[in-house]
Every structure is written in structure tokens, then in C-alpha cells.
Chain A
């Protein structure tokens, strides 16, 4: 277990290093000049040059990267070009909302996806099955921006049950989490449906149903066992992805998450913030996957750490 863990940690470090190099290169290959973005429209060329010098952008790229890495290892993500404030502080202000939306979003994915999958499986082959799965995939394919705006319009404006976007109380998280849940629920529905169909095909279940009895408790226990592995895999992936911020949902609902932060930084070519955001995202993707991998053997003794 320890060997496995240390091997995974080393792998994670390698992944993060690779991500940092690639992102750094991409940020500088962008056909956009951070110095000019800060200097604005009326600055003289002398001013733009001066700002570029101050930001250290005239140094050779490898040297800039090494400096960045050195600071990173000390926990210093640098200073935002646009805000002139510590990136660490900016990221820290975004972590809690991002984590909340990620977790509650996953919860809604399960709440929406699992029942849909089960109903589809039970009514397998009928129009209910087709209808439910179609709905699940409409949820996956529909543009999140449109879904978000519709949710706000109907449930925050026409029928004012929830607030019009924003962040703060438990009521604020419901609509954004539903938007996330609708978008991702389809995947969980599919996985649950397959798992449930497998169980429903078992001899004892078919016999019971032929007799007009539905052995629900037993069925559900077996369904859970079957579905739990792929569901856990999906959750692990989702934690990672969502901690990178869900830009579209955050934008529509005004949710102050990491996604919104990175998006705005890209517009402004605020490289330290972009780097910081991407690295934090990568960290969570790695952690999320690691968590999923650690949980597997606990769920299925046949799986060993290798």
C-alpha cells in the first residue's frame, strides 16, 4: 500500500511538472502581449517596454520558467499582472466556492442520474426507457449556458424560489448544481442502467417477477455492487474536472469559482493567474483520480494495488 502510494505520488509530481511546462509554453506562445494589455490603449511604446521589463518578460523563456518553478516550490504563485496582487490569495478566494459547487454538483448528478438509470432499466425496452435515456442525453448535449439561463428565468425570476445567481447561502447553490447535474447526469444514468440490467437478467429476479414479486431490497443491493465501480470512476474524474472550475455554469450564475477566474485571466493575458489556475486544476485532477484508485480495492477485493 505504501509502495503503491509513493509510486502514485511520484507519478503525480511528474504530471504536474509536465503540465506546468506545457502551460507555460502555451501562455507565451499566445499571440498576445501581456505588457500591452496592461499598458492599455494610450500608452506610449516606451511605457509598454518599461512594463515588459518590470514584469521580467524580456528574459529568456527557460530562465523565466526556472524562476517561476523556484517560487512555486516555495508556495509562491507570483503576482497577477492585472491586479498586482498575490495569485495565491486570488486562488484561495475561489477555492471554497469551487469545492462547494463541485461536491453539490456531483450530488445532483447522482440524484438525477441514478434514478433515471434505474427506471430506464426496470422499464427496459419500453418507451419509458427510450424517453428517460433521451432526456438524459439531452441534458448532456444541451448548451449549459442555455440550460442555466432557462433555470434562472423559470425558477428565480418567473417563480422566485431561488436567487438570481450569485453566491452565499444554501439556496444559491441549488440552481447551479442542477445545471451541473443535468449536464453530467446522463453518464451516471447510462452506467446505472447497464448495472441494473445485468442484475435484472439474473435468474432469481426473473423468477420473482414472473411470480409478480419484485425483490427490491436484494436487487438494489446487487445493482449497487455492480454500478459502484464505474460510478466511483466517474466521480473521481468529475471531482478533478469540476475543481478546475465549470466556466460556463460559473459565468451564467455569477458563481465565483476558479473557472471564471481562469477565463478572465485568459482575456487579459494575465499569465501568473492562468498558470496558477491551471496548476491547481491539474492538482485536483490528479488527486481525484488518486482517490478513486485508492477506493477501488476497498469496494472490490478482487482488485489489488499493483
Chain B
């Protein structure tokens, strides 16, 4: 080869300027890399008042364990941190058939459980059998009965679930008995987070205290009644996550003491939020208020009106009640940690009707409507409420508002389980839902209908405390839920919007406010504000928390 300028003439020539570009790129890469490296590491402590009852994904369903389970385990689907946007997670991709009945999930390869074994499609099959198995006592069992063959499996008539098919090691096909529009959301629930059979069996019935999953954190230590310590999973399939090396969850901590610990730097995140008595002080402080995050929740606080009990069987009475409540005042009672509700669905939902103003606060008109219905002098009734603050004060405010229009309310503030019992038995005329209901399990309007407003849940023991049942709307709801294809979604959102508008006309509830999640963290940790008030990884999306510089 002829040499030109000392170089092989056929070799690509690298000019001087290009070297500068390469050098710039390299140093930029080094900088970003070192920043990412610097962001990595550290430990954070979260405080909770109540204990973490279990870390078993098919069983755990309380405030403390919901997002801890999401850090230890993974599901086929998940949500973009801090949002309600559904995306594939353990599944790399998925296909939905034309008829909307069959979902084919292509699993990521090389995902390892904490015990070192690779996750395969058979683990998905085992997980669904586990959640449906009556012996597991899963609260989420009912979400997956739309899978073909699920009921036969539950009833013991089949050894396996016909609708869950292991195609090969990395492909699983799930068929539903009819199109289920919220199916993919259900794949993101904790109840469908994948578990390894050998670890479940080795735990001898106590998998809840010996969790083994694929998630970013692994269980390091659990001192019963005191603390749970998680350590970073070095093999986590999400690159660079989690940022922290360790998370410590302290339980049994009174919220007031937790707040003091945060100020001392011993606690980094208040799992139960800012104690009411300190709230104004924190928000007024220029430094402390920087450490507070606020976010919307899929939550509504409402009063249920028992439509079977006189005089509430008359829609005019129910509408009058709706017009009597001063929602702004109630929101002020809780330091504005909520927005007044005009309707049942919170603004986070697409089917929320932003143009609907709801029932106006108009005690005059309310009194007129009551008179029209035959109660010019009002009547006596009872309001049940959870006796823990601030629900008792909210109940008193409602009582005062209703007294204004001549409705004399006797308060029944009781323990949570007692109120739930009374509601389920259909004995309570009015119930304030605070502290007990309703946060949606997933961002789909049907989760605000089926458990709490449907004819199907209008049964003894059901959570439809208003005993509301509209057969026409029920049929429309069922049909809306079969609109599973992507091209049908716009129609579905509109249909649910209409359904909820019709329910508001019939006024079985008084929607009062949508609570905001307010959380406070120390200066030791940082991250996008939304992850501290994550609407899905409630309350905090732990994998995204970093130590502050």
C-alpha cells in the first residue's frame, strides 16, 4: 500500500478537529457517568405508624406495604414514575388480538430473581394460579376472574387456569373470557407481581416475611414490629436503579415523633405525612416548605346516602343534601390538603368532566327542594364516620351544614371496622367515607363504579353503602368495559363520563373533596417532586429516591 502522509492511504483519515470532538464527547460521558455514579449510593429512612403486615404481593393491601412490595417485586406492566401512564415492565412488549380477548406478553430476558434464578413464563403461570387459589386468601382474586378458566380453577374443577398459556420460556399468552378494558391495568397491580414458586414453597406459608422477587430492592433484615431493611439489588434489570443502596422502614413511630426525627435528620421521609398540628408551621417556613411535595390522588371523599331508607328514596332529598354542604369550608378544615369535588371521578381521570360544575352550595335552594319533597321542617337522621381525626371534625362540619337546612344529624363516630360493617349491612343512612374509602386501585373509571356503585355490589357485605342500583347504567358499564381495543378508547372514556354524569343526577352520594397527597422529606434525599407523592406507587416511588448532594 502506498503511504501518504505517513498513513495507510486506504485507512480512514481522522482529522485534527475530529479528535477534539471525540475528546469532548469522552469527557462529557465521563462527567455524566461520574454524576450518575455520585448519585448512586446512600441510605434513606422512612417512618410509619402502623406495622408492615406482610410483603407478600398476592396478599399485601395496606398503606405501608403497597409500594414496598412494588420495589421488591415486578409486574408485567407498571406505571411511569410519578404518573398514571401505563407501560410494559417485565414484559418487553405485548400484543392484543383483534377481538380484544388474547394478550401475548413477550418477557424480558435475563431478569433474575433475588435468589439468582432467571424469570421465565412459567413463573407468570404460577403467579396467576397463586392469586386465584382460595388458599392464598388474596384480596385481589376478583380482579382476575375475567381470565378464561379462572372460575373453574377457583372451584377446584381444574388443575390449572386454562386462559394462561406458557408458549415458550419468554412468551406467555393470557386469554380473557370476554373483552376486559382494564385488563392491562390489572397486570400492573401488586396482586399480579411475579413470584418464584420455589421461594414461596420454601417459606412454608410465611412468604410474607420472606419475600423473594425481581425488584430493585431485596429484603436484608426484618426485626418484627420495629424495622424492615432493604438493600439494593445489583442485578436489577432497570439500568442505574435504584439510586440508594439501602432503605430502612421504621414502624410503630407516632407521626409527631416522626416529625421530630425528620428535623433531627434521623428520618428522611414521613410515611404518614405531616402531622396536622404542624402543617401550617411547615408551609409557612421558607426552608421546610421546600421539602414538601404535593400531588393528586385517585381519591374521592364522599357521603353515601342510603337510597333504600326514607326519606332518602326521594331523589329531591338527595339533591337537596348535595346543595347544603359547604365544601370549601371542609377543605379549609384540613388545611387545604384537598380540592373540593364537583363530581365522583377525580381530575386525574380522563373521564372526569371538567365542564361540569356539580351541585352548587345553595342552602336556600336546598330548603326549597326539601319542602317540595314534603319535608318543609326537615327531618332527623344519622351520620356514621370514622372516629380518627380529621374525620370526626369533618363529620361535625357536615352535621352543621345539614342543620342549616333543617336536617338534624346524630353523629355516630366509631372504629373503622365498625363503620365498614354498618355500611355493609345497609343499616347506615349516611356515611362519611373518610379514612375508609375510596382510592382507586388503578386509573380506570370502572374501579370507581363496580365495587362501590354497581348493582353487583349492592348486597349485604358489599361496599356499595348507598345501596344504589341502576340496571340500565349497569348494562352500559358492562358494555363499556368490553371496549378493549386501542381504537375504542375514546368512545369508552366518553361513555364512562356520561355514566358518571347520570349517576350524579341521581345523587346517591355527596362528593365532597379529592384529597391531595402531601409528603415531606428531609434534605438528605431528593428526586423529582412527583415521586414523593406517586399516585400509583403509593406513597413514594422508592427506586427513584436519591441522596442529595
| CB atoms of B225 and A260 under 8 A apart | yes
In chain A, positions 12-70 with a C-beta closer than 8 Å to chain B are: 30-33, 36-48, 50-51, 53-55
B61 within 8 A of A: yes
- The one of A38, A82, A164 in contact with B257, judged by C-beta atoms closer than 8 angstroms, is A164
Task: Tell me the minimal C-beta distance from B302 to chain A in angstroms.
Answer: 13
Most buried by B among A46, A156, A164: A164
Which residues of the partner chain A approach B416 to less than 8 Å between Cβ atoms?
267
| CB atoms of B206 and A85 under 8 A apart | yes
B196 within 8 A of A: no
Question: Contacts A36-B424, A264-B51: A41 and B438 contacting too (C-beta < 8 A)?
Answer: yes
Which residues of the partner chain B approach A30 to less than 8 Å between Cβ atoms?
417-418
A200 within 8 A of B: no
The CA-CA distance from A51 to B138 in the complex, in Å, is: 8
Which residues of the partner chain A approach B51 to less than 8 Å between Cβ atoms?
264
- The one of B134, B142, B253, B441 in contact with A44, judged by C-beta atoms closer than 8 angstroms, is B142
Complex interface: stretch among B52-60, B391-399, B509-517 = B52-60
Task: Tell me the minimal C-beta distance from B298 to chain A in angstroms.
Answer: 12
The CA-CA distance from A40 to B154 in the complex, in Å, is: 19
A167 within 8 A of B: yes
Question: Contacts A37-B417, A82-B54: A46 and B142 contacting too (C-beta < 8 A)?
Answer: yes
B485 within 8 A of A: no
- The one of A54, A83, A90, A149 in contact with B256, judged by C-beta atoms closer than 8 angstroms, is A149
Tally chain B residues at the interface, Cβ within 8 Å.
Answer: 57
Task: Tell me the minimal C-beta distance from B28 to chain A in angstroms.
Answer: 45
- The one of A36, A45, A51, A164 in contact with B137, judged by C-beta atoms closer than 8 angstroms, is A51
| CB atoms of B137 and A38 under 8 A apart | yes
Main secondary structure of the interface of B (DSSP, over half): loop
Complex interface: stretch among B260-268, B285-293, B540-548 = B260-268
In this complex, what residue of A is CB-closest to B151? A46
A115 within 8 A of B: no
The CA-CA distance from A243 to B222 in the complex, in Å, is: 24
| CB atoms of A251 and B420 under 8 A apart | no
A269 within 8 A of B: yes
The CA-CA distance from A268 to B231 in the complex, in Å, is: 29
The CA-CA distance from A83 to B50 in the complex, in Å, is: 13
Which residues of the partner chain A approach B54 to less than 8 Å between Cβ atoms?
82-85
Residues 457-476 of chain B, each 1 if its beta carbon lies under 8 Å from chain A, else 0: 10101110000000000000
B213 within 8 A of A: no
In this complex, what residue of A is CB-closest to B189? A42
Task: Tell me the minimal C-beta distance from A175 to chain B in angstroms.
Answer: 11
A220 within 8 A of B: no
The CA-CA distance from A268 to B417 in the complex, in Å, is: 8
Most buried by B among A46, A50, A55, A254: A254
Which residues of the partner chain B approach A94 to less than 8 Å between Cβ atoms?
224-225
The CA-CA distance from A41 to B342 in the complex, in Å, is: 23
Which residues of the partner chain A approach B141 to less than 8 Å between Cβ atoms?
43-44, 46-47, 50
A160 within 8 A of B: yes
Which residues of the partner chain B approach A166 to less than 8 Å between Cβ atoms?
250, 253
B41 within 8 A of A: no
The CA-CA distance from A93 to B206 in the complex, in Å, is: 16
The CA-CA distance from A37 to B417 in the complex, in Å, is: 7
Residues 202-239 of chain A, each 1 if its beta carbon lies under 8 Å from chain B, else 0: 00000000000000000000000000000000000000
| CB atoms of A39 and B139 under 8 A apart | yes
Most buried by B among A86, A90, A166: A166
| CB atoms of A32 and B462 under 8 A apart | no
B415 within 8 A of A: yes
Which residues of the partner chain B approach A86 to less than 8 Å between Cβ atoms?
206
A252 within 8 A of B: yes
| CB atoms of A89 and B142 under 8 A apart | no
Task: Tell me the minimal C-beta distance from B203 to chain A in angstroms.
Answer: 10
A183 within 8 A of B: no
B123 within 8 A of A: no
Given A45-B462, A51-B134, A164-B266, 5 more contacts at CB 8 Å? Answer: A32-B418, A40-B139, A50-B134, A54-B137, A253-B257
Cβ-closest 9 pairs across A and B: A32-B417, A44-B142, A93-B224, A256-B225, A40-B139, A40-B61, A82-B53, A47-B141, A254-B252
Query: 9 interchain pairs (CB within 8 A)?
Result: A42-B143, A79-B205, A84-B54, A84-B205, A93-B223, A167-B226, A251-B252, A254-B253, A255-B252
B-to-A contact residues, CB < 8 Å: 50-51, 53-54, 56, 59, 61, 134-135, 137-143, 145, 154, 205-206, 208-209, 223-226, 250, 252-254, 256-257, 260-261, 263-264, 266, 415-418, 420-422, 424, 436-439, 441, 447, 451, 457, 459, 461-463
A-to-B contact residues, CB < 8 Å: 30-33, 36-48, 50-51, 53-55, 79-80, 82-86, 89-90, 93-94, 149, 152-153, 156-157, 160, 164-167, 250-256, 260-261, 264, 267-269
